[in-house]
């Protein structure tokens, strides 16, 4: 063989040998790198870092957590008035409920004067005389009554102005009078434009055997909700607890007693939730009870009212029903609703929908409805037996 041929064969053999060596170089370096990292991490764990900057690389038991770097949360010291209020509320809620062998419902009518639907309520109450009491607060003079169930049932009343704390005062006055009868176990606030949607037995069982009070309460982040909150209510009432709801409640006896006993939170709403306060238009009857019970017993309220009202027209006052509106179909459609709807007041309104749960069971939401005009009385009486028997 010639020398040149031998040289060429030698070069080819070397090239072939090099091609087999290249693939093995990568894995070797990767293994070396992984080993170095592992040694680095093990050292960091065995010998924990002492500096805060190193803790970002080697978190360990010797390092402070993120929350450790935050300023400590200080617990606010309660005022004497708050301590007294908490003690009274706790005593009422945890104490034994006043039992009655003949539990009754107190129907409390808040009206300016006459009650145009007395005859309808007379049909509703008839035959159940041992299961209810009627109380009437008439702010503009004692009305003339046409039903035996309303005669001599007026309480001492005072003037009531729309949107003023006097509305809450009237509610407290009604509760105070109704609480004097130990048999009254549930308390219903009604207006002069309210009508029943079901028969008496249905309403009685729904309320007496409920495990909550039906107090309307929801969060409205808009200008007609939390936008009405005043910092003057601090420290007792925080903005996160501020709620809105319809004033037409039904409540159990223990909750009624709390409303009467409360002066601390009532005073805050009397002084700082009123039209024109700090340029805001706050209405105590829409915020006091929802906020109070959200703070003291949030699990004890249903967060909706059993009195239906139609706000679909988006005006300052709800829709009124005239004689041309009233029909069997209308009353049945209201009575069959099983979802509570709240609409917030932001520019882009949010619709909050929740099922109406009665002792954990989905049920119809409403027992009463408003606002019906006096002209609808005869039509409602004519329809009463039909729409309340279903």
Rounded-to-10 torsion of CA 226, 231, 233, 234: 120
Give the separation between CA 157 and CA 168, rounded to whole angstroms: 12
What strand order describes the sheet that includes 195-196?
Answer: 195-196, 368-369, 307-308
* 45: enclosing H helix or E strand: helix 25-46
- Asked whether the whole model's pTM tops 0.85, one would answer no
Give the separation between CA 240 and CA 78, rounded to whole angstroms: 18
**Residue-wise DSSP of 194-230:** -EESS-HHHHHHHHHT-SSEEEE-B---STTTGGG--
pLDDT in tens, the chain (390 residues): 444 444 344 434 444 444 444 444 556 666 666 667 666 566 555 555 544 444 544 444 445 554 454 455 557 788 888 899 999 999 999 988 788 899 999 999 999 989 999 999 999 999 999 999 999 999 988 889 999 999 999 999 989 998 899 999 999 999 999 999 999 999 999 999 999 999 999 999 999 999 999 999 999 999 999 999 999 999 999 999 999 999 999 999 999 999 999 999 999 999 999 998 888 899 999 999 999 999 999 999 999 999 999 988 777 788 999 999 999 999 999 999 999 999 999 888 899 999 999 999 999 999 999 999 999 999 999 999 888 775
**Residue-wise DSSP of 78-133:** PPHHHHHHHHHHHHHHHSPP---SS-EEEEEEEESS--TTHHHHHHHHTT-GGGEE
Residue corresponding to tokens 């028997």: 389
Q: Which tokens go with 119?
A: 């005859």
């Amino acid at each position: 063989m010639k020398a040149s041929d031998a040289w060429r064969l030698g070069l080819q053999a070397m090239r072939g040998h090099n091609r087999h060596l290249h693939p093995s170089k990568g894995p070797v370096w990767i293994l070396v790198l992984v080993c170095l990292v592992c040694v680095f991490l093990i050292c960091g764990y065995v010998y924990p870092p002492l500096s805060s900057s190193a803790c970002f690389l080697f978190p360990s038991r010797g390092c402070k957590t993120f929350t450790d770097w935050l300023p400590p949360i200080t617990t606010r010291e309660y005022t004497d008035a708050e301590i007294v209020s908490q003690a009274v509320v706790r005593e009422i809620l945890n104490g034994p409920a006043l039992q009655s062998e003949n539990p009754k419902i107190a129907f409390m009518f808040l009206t300016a004067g006459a009650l145009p639907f007395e005859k309808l309520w007379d049909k509703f109450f008839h035959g159940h005389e041992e299961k209810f009491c009627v109380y009437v607060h008439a702010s503009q003079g004692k009305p003339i009554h046409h039903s035996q169930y309303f005669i001599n049932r007026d309480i001492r009343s005072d003037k009531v102005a729309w949107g003023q704390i006097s509305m809450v005062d009237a509610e407290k006055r009604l509760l105070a009078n109704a609480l004097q009868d130990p048999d009254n176990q549930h308390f219903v606030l009604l207006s002069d434009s309210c009508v029943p949607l079901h028969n008496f037995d249905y309403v009685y069982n729904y309320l007496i055997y409920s495990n909550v009070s039906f107090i309307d309460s929801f969060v409205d982040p808009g200008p007609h909700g939390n936008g009405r909150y005043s910092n003057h209510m601090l420290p007792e009432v925080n903005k996160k607890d501020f709620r809105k709801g319809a004033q037409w409640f039904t409540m159990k006896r223990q909750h009624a007693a709390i409303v009467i006993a409360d002066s601390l939170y009532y005073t805050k709403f009397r002084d700082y939730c009123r039209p024109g306060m700090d340029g805001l238009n706050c209405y105590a009857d829409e915020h006091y009870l929802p906020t109070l019970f959200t703070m003291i017993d949030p699990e004890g309220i249903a967060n909706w009212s059993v009195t239906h009202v139609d706000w679909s027209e988006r005006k300052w006052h709800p829709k009124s029903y005239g004689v041309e509106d009233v029909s069997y179909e209308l009353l049945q459609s209201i009575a069959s609703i099983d979802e509570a709807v709240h609409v917030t007041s932001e520019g882009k309104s949010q619709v909050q929908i929740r099922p109406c749960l009665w002792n954990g069971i989905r049920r119809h939401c409403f027992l009463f409805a408003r606002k019906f005009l006096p002209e609808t009385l005869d039509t409602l009486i004519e329809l009463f037996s039909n729409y309340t028997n279903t």
